[in-house]
Amino acid sequence: MSGDAPYLTSRAGILLLAPLVILLLLFFVYPLLFTLWNSVYEGGLTVRAYEELFTSTLFYKVLRTTFVISFTATAVSLLLGYPVALHISRQPPGRRVIYLTLVMLPFWTSILVKSFALTVLLGYSGIINQMLGSISGGQLNIPMVFNRFGAIIGMINYLLPFMILSILGSLLAQDPNLARAAEVMGAGRFRIFRKVTLPLSMPGVMAGVIINFTLSIGMYITPALLGGRQDMMIANLIDFYTRQTLDWPVASAIAVVLLAISGILVAILGKVRGSQGTMGAAA
């Protein structure tokens, strides 16, 4: 019905879209273009910033660190998040709401607060190390913050709700009769999971991975607060160029490279997701 007789005239549509378009142009597109411009304009057009970047060992090191940390954080968050999402999807609606609230709780807390809370929990004289100390008689103290472990723990803490929610979405979208049908046909739980539940949840998994990874590679506060000196990530490097060396063109160039990498990743994963999506998205 809406296909052959649109409810809105195109003029009304434009009017309704205008506020959002203006907002995006002003606070998203303009800064983006400004950054791009900044990276190539220093009194005249130049690729000096990019040259400096691509010949800098620091940049490559930070880039590698960023990828390793992001990949690890995303992978762990997937491994931890999938079983949680699966469990929540199998709860009756009432209990599901309670569990979802628990998942969302860290989501609603400021990332700054969470990071400091984690230092209290994981620090040298934090709760866990105090417990370990009292058990081992002061022998045992595991450094868990201001190193890569801390950075990754902090990131996972932030990333998990995104992973769980997107996987849960595609689990709940599955027709429960599919698993029942498989069961009647004689399939055991493991086979049902492997052949039905898992493949049909791939769109959610891919969405979760994309969100997690893109959030990870742009992460700033958490690695700064919980990571060690060796764990500088790209966002921290941008900060370094912006505030320490005041080399804005290079900072902008890094931002542009980061954006390009994110874009390429989303495009690649979106391809995978697309092929899976046609199979199960609307199931």
Partner 1 sequence: MMDLMSQNTKGQSPAMTSPAPMRDTKEPAKMMIEVQNLTKQYSDFRALDHVSLSVRKGEFVTLLGPSGSGKSTLLNLISGMTAPTSGTITIDGTDATNMPTNKRGLGMVFQNYALMPHMTVFQNIAFPLQVRKISKEEIRRRVMDVLKLVQLEHVADRRPRALSGGQQQRISLARCIVYNPSIILMDEPLGALDKKLREDMQLEIKRLHAELGVTMLYVTHDQDEALTMSDRIVLMRNGRIEQQGSPAALYFEPETVFSADFIGSSNLFSGKLKTVDGSKALQIDGAALSVPQAQSASFADGSDAVLLVRPENVRVGGQGAASAEHNSIVATVKDTLVLGGVVRHFLTLKGGVEVIAQDLNQPGMALPSRGSEVQITWRNEDARLLPADPSFSKKQV
Residues of this chain that interact with partner 1 (CB under 8 A) are 175, 177-178, 180-188, 191, 195-196, 199-200, 276, 279-280, 282-283
231's CB contacts (< 8 A; 6+ apart) are 65, 69, 147, 148, 151, 223
Angle at 112 between CA 61 and CA 230, to 5 degrees: 20
146's CB contacts (< 8 A; 6+ apart) are 226, 227, 228
DSSP notation for 75-127:
HHHHHHHHHHHHHHHTS-HHHHHHHHHHHHTGGGS-HHHHHHHHHHHHSTTSH
Contact assessment for residue 63 and residue 236, using Cβ atoms and an 8 Å cutoff: no
Tokens of 233: 């990530």
Q: Is 246 exposed, middle or buried (0-12, 13-18, 19+ CB in 10 A)?
A: exposed
Minimum gap (Å) between residue 207 Cβ and partner 1? 16
Position 185, amino acid? M
Residue number, 1 or 282, with CB nearest to partner 1: 282
Helix, strand and coil in the chain, % to nearest 5: 80, 0, 20
Residue number, 199 or 270, with CB nearest to partner 1: 199
Minimum gap (Å) between residue 194 Cβ and partner 1? 11
User: What does the alpha-carbon distance between residue 150 and residue 272 come to, in Å, rounded to a whole number?
Assistant: 31
Minimum gap (Å) between residue 171 Cβ and partner 1? 14
Residue number, 1 or 185, with CB nearest to partner 1: 185
Minimum gap (Å) between residue 263 Cβ and partner 1? 28
Residue number, 13 or 176, with CB nearest to partner 1: 176
The DSSP code for 55 is T
Minimum gap (Å) between residue 188 Cβ and partner 1? 6
Residue number, 61 or 189, with CB nearest to partner 1: 189
Residue number, 192 or 233, with CB nearest to partner 1: 192
Minimum gap (Å) between residue 184 Cβ and partner 1? 4
Residue number, 187 or 269, with CB nearest to partner 1: 187
User: What does the alpha-carbon distance between residue 65 and residue 231 come to, in Å, rounded to a whole number?
Assistant: 7
Minimum gap (Å) between residue 88 Cβ and partner 1? 21
Give the other-Cβ count within 10 Å of 85's Cβ: 25
Residue number, 82 or 149, with CB nearest to partner 1: 82
Minimum gap (Å) between residue 101 Cβ and partner 1? 24
Q: Residue 36 half-sphere exposure, CB side, CA atoms within 13 Å?
A: 8
